[in-house]
């Protein structure tokens, strides 16, 4: 019997539905449950063939537990090592290398020095040429943490004065400074198993509970082409980064989808935000994928997914160098899965 577990925090709708969906499928050799953690001992395996992690970004103890689970054979979704390593600025560099458009972006040194450093710690850093930066990025622009999430410390800025006022508030955070994409369409796309894509029209300017209550503005043949491009970009990014369960956001300007936020390994899956249809898709696809991973699970071995950046790097190759095909990639299945599913009505939360 192989066990699939889910590790989760404050969310209330996805975890139970995920477990129920797997168990409803009545596989003779697979059962799903909420992860239950006893005393955690180094190099001692868990009972789980697969664990889907929805919370270790907020609980360092869980992250360490999952790494120990991974080295003793559990297939952890998403790979906890990779999740610990990447951040938004690096992700943007990956996007550039795999040919996915991203906003022009520069990395800013933190406004305040990190604890226990002084000016001597920064002798390698040149003075910032703010005029050159503003000229390169332009206004309006976004400034946001390079390793952030949940819309925290995200600023939209219209001029240098606003920039410096915001920068002053960022303390020790390392920020990205990037061109604002003034968009016609915006999409949030689920990608599960590096192969199944669900494009959800999303309006970030709406109040939280109405963000999925929108339809694509680009329709007809142009809309179809746009969906195919978005699907292709979602797969390219997830293939390179090696996420099993992720969302990718795009802002579309003049027909070009720019990737905005694409390292979301515990994306919001709540029925009250994504709506019933999207929720059902996520539950079903995640359940099937977890079962697939449980069946492929080899006890005592590494059962993690690594993206092409890491796999190529271990071969001394860059991202753009052709490498062995990704084991889970099946791009030809995507267009069907990627039909936009606009949601007319959201449930009240």
> Which residues of the chain form contacts with Mg ion (CB under 5 A)?
261
Query: For residues 264 and 312, which CB has a smaller minimum distance to Mg ion in the complex?
Result: 264
# residues near ligand ADP by CB under 6 A = 18
Instruction: Give dist(CA 193, CA 329) in Å, integer.
Output: 8
Which of residues 244 and 249 has its CB atom nearest to Mg ion in the complex? 249
According to CB under 6 A, which residues from 78 to 137 bind ligand ADP? 103
Cβ at position 106, least distance to ligand ADP in Å: 12
Shortest Cβ 181–ligand ADP spacing (Å): 4
- Candidates 166, 180, 259, 310; binder of ligand ADP (CB under 6 A) is 180
Question: Which residues, other chains included, contact 77 with Cβ-Cβ below 8 Å and sequence gap of 6+?
Answer: 50, 51, 52, 53, 244, 245, 289, 290, 293, 305
The enclosing H or E element of 292 equals helix 276-296
Our finding on whether 53 is near ligand ADP (CB under 6 A) is no
What is the enclosing helix (H) or strand (E) of 75?
Answer: strand 75-77
* Shortest Å, Cβ 207 to ligand ADP: 13
* Binding flags for ligand ADP, 248-277, as an x/- string (CB under 6 A): -x-x--------xx----------------
Shortest Å, Cβ 182 to ligand ADP: 7
Binding-site partner at residue 181 among Mg ion, ligand ADP, none, CB < 5 to 8 Å by type: ligand ADP
Take residue 11 and report the two structure tokens written for it: 């969310």
User: Considering the complex, what minimum distance in angstroms separates the CB of residue 323 from Mg ion?
Assistant: 29
Closest to Mg ion by CB, 145 vs 193, is 145
Quick check: 141 and 180 in contact, CB under 8 A?
yes
170 and 153 Cβ atoms separated by less than 8 Å: yes
- Give residue for tokens 């936020």: 261
DSSP, residue by residue, 180-226? ----SEEEEEEEETTTEEEEEE--TTS-GGGTT----S--HHHHHHH
Question: What are the residues binding ligand ADP (CB under 6 A)?
Answer: 103, 142, 144, 148-152, 154, 178-181, 204, 249, 251, 260-261
């Amino acid at each position: 019997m192989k066990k699939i577990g889910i590790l989760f925090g404050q969310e209330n709708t996805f975890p139970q539905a995920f477990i129920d969906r797997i168990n409803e499928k009545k596989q003779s050799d697979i059962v799903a449950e909420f992860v239950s953690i006893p005393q955690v001992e180094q190099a001692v395996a868990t009972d789980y063939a697969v664990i889907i992690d929805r919370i270790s970004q907020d609980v360092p103890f869980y992250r360490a537990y999952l790494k120990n689970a991974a080295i003793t054979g559990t297939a952890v979704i998403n790979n906890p090592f990779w999740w610990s390593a990447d951040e938004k600025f690096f992700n943007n560099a990956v996007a550039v290398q795999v040919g996915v458009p991203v906003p022009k972006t520069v990395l800013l040194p933190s406004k305040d020095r990190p604890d226990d450093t002084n000016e001597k710690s920064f002798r390698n850093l040149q003075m910032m040429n703010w005029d050159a930066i503003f000229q390169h990025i332009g206004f309006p622009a976004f400034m946001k943490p390079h390793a952030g999430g949940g819309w925290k410390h995200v600023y939209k800025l219209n001029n240098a004065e606003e920039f410096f006022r915001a920068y002053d508030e960022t303390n020790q955070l390392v920020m990205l400074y990037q061109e604002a994409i003034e968009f016609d369409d915006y999409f949030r796309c689920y990608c599960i198993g590096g192969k199944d894509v669900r494009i959800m029209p999303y309006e970030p300017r709406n109040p939280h509970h109405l963000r999925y209550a929108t339809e694509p503005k680009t329709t007809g043949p142009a809309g179809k082409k746009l969906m195919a491009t978005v699907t292709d970009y979602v797969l390219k990014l997830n293939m390179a980064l090696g996420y099993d369960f992720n969302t990718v956001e795009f802002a579309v300007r003049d027909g070009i989808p720019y990737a905005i936020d694409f390292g979301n390994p515990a994306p919001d899956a709540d029925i009250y935000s994504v709506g019933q249809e999207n929720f059902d898709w996520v539950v079903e696809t995640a359940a099937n994928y977890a079962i697939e991973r449980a069946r492929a699970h080899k006890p005592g071995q590494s059962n993690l997914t690594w993206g092409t950046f890491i796999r190529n790097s271990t071969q001394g190759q860059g991202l753009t160098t052709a490498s062995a095909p990704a084991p889970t990639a099946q791009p030809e299945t995507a267009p069907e899965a990627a039909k936009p599913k606009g949601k007319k009505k959201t449930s009240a939360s």
